[in-house]
Structure 1
Amino acid sequence: MIKLFSVKEKQKQEAASANGKGVKQSAGEIRLQKDISELNLSKGMSIKFPEGKDKLLIFEITMKPDEGIYRGGCFTFSFNISTAYPHDAPKVKCKTKVFHPNIDLDGNICLNILREDWKPVLSINSVIYGLQFLFLDPNPDDPLNKEAAEMQTNSPRQFEAQVQASILRGCSINGHYFPPCRA
């Protein structure tokens, strides 16, 4: 479990740093603080705040799967959270170029809870679990990378070999270079 700031402590700090200007947090920022304080990151996962821990709306999660065909890889996802969170879904992109049927070459992710199935009751933990599941069980039936989906469906052994080759030493697949991303 990760402990960053309690909601009240964070509000006190912001009020003190505002020198009496009365900085007010949005409901989305308060909810995000709660979600982050309750994160349950599994082994091989970490969180980073590139703009500082006081800028919670932008952060990165790094995953290192230890099972499935993506085991041994290291994948970083950027999260951009709207102040309308949790009514708006987080904007999540994969910063690591990966040969995956549900992640395109620009890092866009096909995960239903990031689109049409998002509900305010879901949390950052829900998104992280969804991302972990994509690495354990890629879904070729709902692809963003059609070439990866076709290979996974038609030649599963070749798909697994290409994924492992791209993770371990980097390789070109269908004219696109995937740099190594081993943990």
Structure 2
Amino acid sequence: MLKIWSMKKEQQKAENAEGAAGGKKKKVTAAQLRVQKDLSELSLGNTMKTEFPDPDDILSFILYVEPDEGMYKDGKFSFTFNITPSFPHEPPKVQCREKIYHPNIDLEGKVCLNILREDWKPVLNLNAVIVGLQFLFLEPNASDPLNKEAAEDLRANREGFKRNVKISMSGGTVKGETFDDVRRPR
């Protein structure tokens, strides 16, 4: 990972080269600097990792979450993070790439996490979002659902919900919906 100062030095080198050539210069934005700082402070542990499909674009990346406890244990889930130039004044856009059975993630992958909506504040960082995602797998929240059927299932019959999570994680069908197989290879 590049450090903030090395990004600044690269920018200055590019500006000097562009200036000599008479071209346009590409500036490092405030959002890029903040994301770089947030990424350098991440503590992902062994259950999460990031991937940057375009190494030159730190505002778009993939987070992989592999819960090692809870109902979603042994699953592998990936989330796209798209960060606008307005970051940190706007939250990152986060979406689950797999179709999963979860009260707080709908069938299109939209994530219901309060800090990604009304509770976002510029003092929050990417680590807060990642911890929030991790917590959704440990303790799904039936009182603030995006997938109302899964939430009702969790409220009405926790053991039945756990069975449905296992079925769905193996690519099975629950309540007429077929889900992606998200089990980690053993």
Q: TM-score range by the shorter chain?
A: over 0.9
1:11 aligned to 2:12? no
Using the alignment, how far apart are the partners of 2:158 and 2:25 within structure 1?
58
Instruction: Look up the match of 1:121.
Output: 123
Q: Give the alignment partner of residue 33 of structure 2, picking from 21, 27, 30.
A: 30
Separation in 2 of the partners of 1:105 and 1:28? Answer: 30
- Match in the other structure for 2:180: 179
Question: Residues 14 and 25 of structure 2 are in contact (CA less than 8 Å); yes or no, is this contact kept in structure 1?
Answer: no
> Residues 151-175 of structure 1: CA distance to partner in whole angstroms, max 9, x if unpaired?
11111111101101222x2111111
Q: Which residue is equivalent to 2:21?
A: none
Q: CA deviation at 1:99?
A: 0.2
The structural deviation recorded for 1:103 is 0.3
Offset at 1:13?
Answer: 2.5
Between the two proteins, the alignment pairs up a number of residues equal to 178
Structure number with larger C-alpha Rg: 2
Q: CA deviation at 1:67?
A: 0.4
Residue identity matched to 2:146: L
User: SS at 1:132's partner residue?
Assistant: helix
Report the Cα distance in structure 2 between the residues aligned to 1:41 and 1:120, rounded to whole angstroms: 21
CA distance in 2, matches of 1:74, 1:14: 37
- Percent sequence identity is 47
Cα deviation, residue 115, structure 1: 0.2
Aligned residue in 2 for 1:48: 51
Q: Show structure 1 runs of 4+ deviating over 6 A.
A: none
CA contact (8 A) 1:15 1:23 kept: no
CA contact (8 A) 1:102 1:109 kept: yes
TM-score normalised to the size of structure 1?
A: 0.93
1:181 is matched by which residue type in structure 2?
V
> Partner letter of residue 38 of structure 1?
E
SS of 2:94 mapped into structure 1: strand
**Cα deviation, residue 129, structure 1:** 0.3
Q: Deviations over 1:113-168 (max 9, x none)?
A: 0000000000000000000010000000110000100111111111101101222x
Coordinate RMSD, CA, aligned: 1.2
- Please say which of residues 98-107 and 38-47 is displaced more in the overlay: 38-47
- TM-score of the two chains, using structure 2 as the length reference: 0.92
| Aligned counterpart, 2:142 | 140
Q: Give the Cα separation in 2 of the matches to 1:96 and 1:50.
A: 17
Note the 1:86-125 alignment, pairs <5 A.
Answer: 86-125=88-127
User: Hey, what's the Cα distance between the residues in 1 that align with 2:144 and 2:36?
Assistant: 32
